[in-house]
């Protein structure tokens, strides 16, 4: 889908070269040029600062900035609204959109439009950055989206999509917003090669969004990491979840999702790499869990999930749960805490590994006991539990633990 949309956008731009060209210089009106243009025309805007109240694009055309002319919302109004199909906007700096506690004002809004390209723009100090409202087949790429919001109430989302489908969000750099990327009721869309970091709440937030793919993104130093909630058939490949620390932080929250995959991802230095709640039929494999507080916190409300062929290295706790009933499988993972043996030299431990430590179970039930984490008493309890298991769930074990890290 990415290639098809990119081919379409390039075709539109090439077609604009054969259409009429309208030039807008500093001191002139962009809206006047749009009103004058015919469908398919190219409008080139030269450097300068343009303060026009709510520019409206209501016909197919290409709006192209030369050397990043500035569109200034003066913290009063939405800057640019697209209501027509077949529109391309590129090469602008959009700053200071209006703020409203009632209306979700944005630097750029795509409203009930299809085949729209938003690329190579700079967005600074806006409430919402790019807002997709009933958008279809939009291509949002190579934009730098920066805000300096200090709280969730004072900041909107970098890229916000609502009731949209077939979007491609690619190679954007987003920071300082409430959520870097937000999807609600968005289907069959792709999020690829973006960097979403230092956002107030989530680097990425999914709600009720199905059959979507996100791949090769980096989510780092966000308030609570990434959340995928109330969704199904979501594919999560080759992403990096890095340095998401805090009392309620995680690399990724998987809440009430089903029939999805998470593979070839890197989880490093998160409070909890994956937190799972009410999730079913997930396949979590070939991921790297390194130096996290928790590798996976899997609640008792989860079932029929398969955690296999992952590397768990240098985590404080590899697995934690809040119940004794085990409805999920753990097979063929590498655990650096495994102390078993491999007499037949097939690379698989001869005795099962129980990744849930007794102390992790105690902490799950009483958080204040974490202050004893490095005490000698905890070490003695762990040794006793390994020799004579009696408290940790009997069925929570990996029957085929790997002796060496998997080449992921």
Q: Is 372 helix (H, G, I), strand (E, B) or coil?
A: helix
The first and second tokens of residue 120, run together, are 């190579």
Which of 310, 344, 314, 315 shows the shortest CA–CA distance to 329? 310
Least confident of 314-323, 380-389, 396-405: 380-389
The first and second tokens of residue 35, run together, are 């009103």
Considering only CA atoms, give the Rg of the chain. Answer: 25
pLDDT tens digits for range 241-272:
999 988 778 999 999 999 999 999 999 999 99
pLDDT at 364 (0 to 100): 61
Architecture of the domain made up of 1-214: 3 Solenoid (2.160)
The first and second tokens of residue 199, run together, are 């956002």
pLDDT tens digits for range 122-171:
999 999 999 999 999 999 999 999 998 777 778 899 999 999 999 999 99
Contact (CB, 8 A) for 405 and 347: no
Q: Which of 13-27, 153-167, 382-396 has the highest mean pLDDT?
A: 153-167
Q: Is 284 helix (H, G, I), strand (E, B) or coil?
A: strand
pLDDT at 391 (0 to 100): 57
The per-residue DSSP string of 123-161 comes to: EES-SEEEEEES-BS-EEES-EEE----SGGG---SEEE
Residues 330-355 as b/e (b if ≥16 CB within 10 A, e otherwise) read: bebbbbeebeeeeeeeeeebeeebbb
Percent of the chain clearing pLDDT 90 (strictly above): 77
Q: So where are the chain's domains?
A: 1-214, 224-356+393-408
Is the entire prediction scored with pTM above 0.85? yes
Which of 248, 207, 194, 204 shows the shortest CA–CA distance to 226? 204
Q: How many helices (H) and strands (E) does the chain have?
A: 4, 39
């Amino acid at each position: 889908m990415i290639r098809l949309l990119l081919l379409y956008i390039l075709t539109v731009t090439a077609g604009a070269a054969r259409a009429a060209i309208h030039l807008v210089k500093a001191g002139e009106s962009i809206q006047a040029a749009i009103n004058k243009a015919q469908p398919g025309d190219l409008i080139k805007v030269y450097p300068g600062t343009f303060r026009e109240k709510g520019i409206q694009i209501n016909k197919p055309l290409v709006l192209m900035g030369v050397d990043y002319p500035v569109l200034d919302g003066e913290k009063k109004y939405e800057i640019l609204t697209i209501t027509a199909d077949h529109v391309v906007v590129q090469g602008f700096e959009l700053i200071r959109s209006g703020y409203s506690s009632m209306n979700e004002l944005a630097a750029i809004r795509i409203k009930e439009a299809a085949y729209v390209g938003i690329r190579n723009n700079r967005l600074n100090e806006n409430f919402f950055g790019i807002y997709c409202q009933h958008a279809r087949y939009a291509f949002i790429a190579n934009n730098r989206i920066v805000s300096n919001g200090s709280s969730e109430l004072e900041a909107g989302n970098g890229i916000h999509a609502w009731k949209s489908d077939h979007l491609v969000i690619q190679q954007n750099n987003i920071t300082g917003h409430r959520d870097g990327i937000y999807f609600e009721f968005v289907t069959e869309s792709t999020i690829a090669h973006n960097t979403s970091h230092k956002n107030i709440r989530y680097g990425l937030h999914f709600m009720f969004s199905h059959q979507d793919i996100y791949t090769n993104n980096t989510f780092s130093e966000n308030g609570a990491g990434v959340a995928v909630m109330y969704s199904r058939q979501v594919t999560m490949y080759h992403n990096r979840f890095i340095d998401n620390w805090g009392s309620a932080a995680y690399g990724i929250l998987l809440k009430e999702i089903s029939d999805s995959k998470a593979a070839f991802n890197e989880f490093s230095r998160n409070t909890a790499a994956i937190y799972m709640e009410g999730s079913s039929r997930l396949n979590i494999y070939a991921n790297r869990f390194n130096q996290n507080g928790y590798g996976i916190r899997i609640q008792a409300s989860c079932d029929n999930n398969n955690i296999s062929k992952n590397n768990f290295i240098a985590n404080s706790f590899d697995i934690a749960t809040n119940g004794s009933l085990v409805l999920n499988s753990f097979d063929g993972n590498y655990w650096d805490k495994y102390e078993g043996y491999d007499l037949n030299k097939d690379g698989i431990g001869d005795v099962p590994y129980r990744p849930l430590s007794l102390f992790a179970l105690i902490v799950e039930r009483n958080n204040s006991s974490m202050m004893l984490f490095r005490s000698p008493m905890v070490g003695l309890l762990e040794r006793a539990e390994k020799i004579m298991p009696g408290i940790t769930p009997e069925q929570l074990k990996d029957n085929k633990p790997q002796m060496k890290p998997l080449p992921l």
